[in-house]
Amino acid sequence: MSGERRIVAFCCRECAYAAADTSANARTALPPSVRLVLVPCTGRVGPLHLLRALADGADGVMVAGCLLGQCHYREGNFNAVDRVAFVRRLLESVGVEPERCRMFTMSAGEPPRFVAAVREMDRVIAALPPLPRSGDTAPAAGTTDAAVAGMGVA
C-alpha cells in the first residue's frame, strides 16, 4: 500500500447516501481516504463484506445508515448494529483494533452529520498503526490474515 489510508463506507441508499449526495452537491469535501459503497439497506451488509473490505486493503470500514427505529426496511439498521458489533469482537479477538469497524446513523436531511461521521472515522484510522498485510510476512496462527483466510474471504 502507498501509505495512504483507505476507508470503505457502506452507505444505505435512503439516508446515509442521500446525506452524502446532498453534502457533495453543497461541495463539502470528504477526506480522500473514504470510498462510498451504495447499499439498499445497511441490513444487507454482512460480516463478510466488512472483513473482505479489510482483507482487500481497507484500513477501516464504516456502516452508515438510517437512524435507529427509522429504517425504511424496518429492522435493517438494527441487524447492521449487531453485525458491526460481531465484527468488532472478532477483530479484537485476533489482535486488531475494533475501532477499525464502526456504525453511524443519520437521516437523509443530516448531511453535516454524515460529513462529521466520515471525518471522525478518518481521524480514528489515522491515529491507528497500519494493518499488517498478507504480503508483509506469512500470517501466523491467530492473526487477522490467518483468521480471514480461514473464513474463505482472503
C-alpha torsion sign, points 64, 67, 69, 73: negative
In the block, cell 426496511 appears at: 73
In the block, cell 443519520 appears at: 106
Considering the entire predicted model, what is its pTM?
0.83
pLDDT at residue 36, as a whole number: 96
Q: What is the pLDDT of residues 81-126, one digit of tens each?
A: 999 999 999 999 999 999 999 999 999 999 999 999 999 999 999 9
Q: What is the pLDDT of residues 9-23, one digit of tens each?
A: 999 999 999 999 998
136 located within any domain: yes
143 located within any domain: yes
2 located within any domain: no
1 located within any domain: no
- Total number of domains in the chain: 1
Q: What is the pLDDT of residues 47-83, one digit of tens each?
A: 999 999 999 999 999 999 999 999 989 899 999 999 9
Q: Check which CATH number belongs to the domain holding 129 and give it.
A: 3.40.50
51 located within any domain: yes
42 located within any domain: yes
pLDDT at 140 over 90: no
Q: What spatial distance separates the first Cα and last Cα of the chain, rounded to whole Å?
A: 17
pLDDT at 144 over 50: no
Residues 6+ apart with CB under 8 A from 59: 5, 6, 7, 33, 100, 125, 128, 130, 131
Q: By three-state DSSP, how is residue 2 classified?
A: coil
C-alpha pair distances (Å), 105 with each of 63, 144, 145, 146? 8, 27, 29, 32
- Which domain range does residue 59 map to? 7-150
- pLDDT tier at 29 (50, 70, 90 boundaries)? confident
pLDDT at residue 49, as a whole number: 98
